[in-house]
Each structure stands twice: as structure tokens, then as C-alpha cells.
Amino acid sequence: MAQQYPGGYGGFEEDTRPGIDAARLWAGGVATAVIAALVAVVGLLIARGIFEVPVLAPKGDGIWGKASTPTYAIAAAVVALLATGLMHLLSVATPAPGQFFGWIMVLVTAIAVVLPLTLTVDLSAKIATAAINLVIGLVIAIVVSSMAANARTVHRKKRSRREPPPPTRQWPEPPTTYYDR
């Protein structure tokens, strides 16, 4: 939206479209990726270590499983970076990026929760995996949304610098008659 002086004189014109500080957004995205990876590791440690549920690994593989814990953590980090990219795209291309991002994240998280429930493994492994996916999805959605809100900016472009017309007519000499009360 452009703001102008009244009367159509350009004085200066501001472009006040909201934008996003890409450096801050992506720095937050990297931090979110680290958080998502750590949430995945903590979730797997709780499921395997405390509840002895063989999430992503056969029962005999121990608390860390085979290579699935690092793979799961890396996948969570990649999803966080993809969510950051999605938020960046939505922020520059859509009128209400927060609403679109929220809906997309709810649906992607729902898929990540329902998918393990369709596998042919123990019910406890299904539920644990679904719960971990739910927490990872919620953490990514909440953190990316809040850091994107903090990275939003308003771009201000100054255009031609013409002087606006004077507010009133200017007289060359002061008035000649003064009135007293």
C-alpha cells in the first residue's frame, strides 16, 4: 500500500508491504532443525529406554537401535528445514502465510501420526511412533510460526522527493492592520 501527501503530490511514497528477513528466518530454521532432531532422539530414548517399546528397531537392538535413531533425527531436522522453506515461500507469495502454514502443518502432522498406525508391528510401537511424530510436528509448527512472526518486516521504499504544496497561501508582506480587543 502506498501512502502519499493529500492532493496527489508524491512527496515521498512508501511501499508498506510486509516482507520477511530471510537471514533471521533461515537462522531460526536451522535452530528449529536442531530442536526437531533432539526431540526425535528424546522421544526414542523415552520410548525405548523407559517404556521398552521397540520403536524403529527390533527389540534386541537396545536403547539406541541400529542406524534408525540418527536417521529419524536427521529426517526430523530435514522436515524442519522444509517447513522453514515453506514458510518463506508462503510469506512472500500469499496474503495470510500463517493460516496456510498452520493448515499445511496440521495435515502433514496428521499424516505422520496416522501412517505408523497402519504398519504391521506391535500396537505399542505404533502408538509410540505416532506420539513421537505428533510431538515433532507440533514443535516444528509452533517454533517455525513464532520465529517467522519475529522475522517479518515492513519494507519502506522512498521514491521521488518532490516538495508538497504549501498548506496555505503565502503572502509576500505581513498584514497592515492589527486589531486589538
pTM of the model: 0.74
- Answer yes or no: is 15 within a domain: no
For residues 179 and 181, give the distance between their C-alpha atoms in angstroms, rounded to a whole number.
7
Residue 84 inside a domain? The answer is yes
Report if residue 157 sits inside a domain. Answer: no
Asked whether residue 41 is assigned to any structural domain, the reply reads yes
pLDDT digits (tens, 9 = 90+) for 22-38: 999 999 999 999 999 99
CA-based R_g, the chain, Å? 28
Which DSSP category does 55 fall into? Answer: T
Report which listed range, 6-20, 26-40, 148-162, is most confident. Answer: 26-40
* CA-wise closest residue to 24 among 141, 144, 157: 144
Instruction: Give 117 or 159, the one with higher predicted confidence.
Output: 117
Indicate whether 166 belongs to any domain. Answer: no
Phi, psi of 2 (to 5 degrees): -105, 140
**Domain total of the chain:** 1
pLDDT of res. 59: 53
Is 57's pLDDT higher than 70?
no
Q: Does any domain span residue 6? A: no
Range of the domain at 35: 21-152
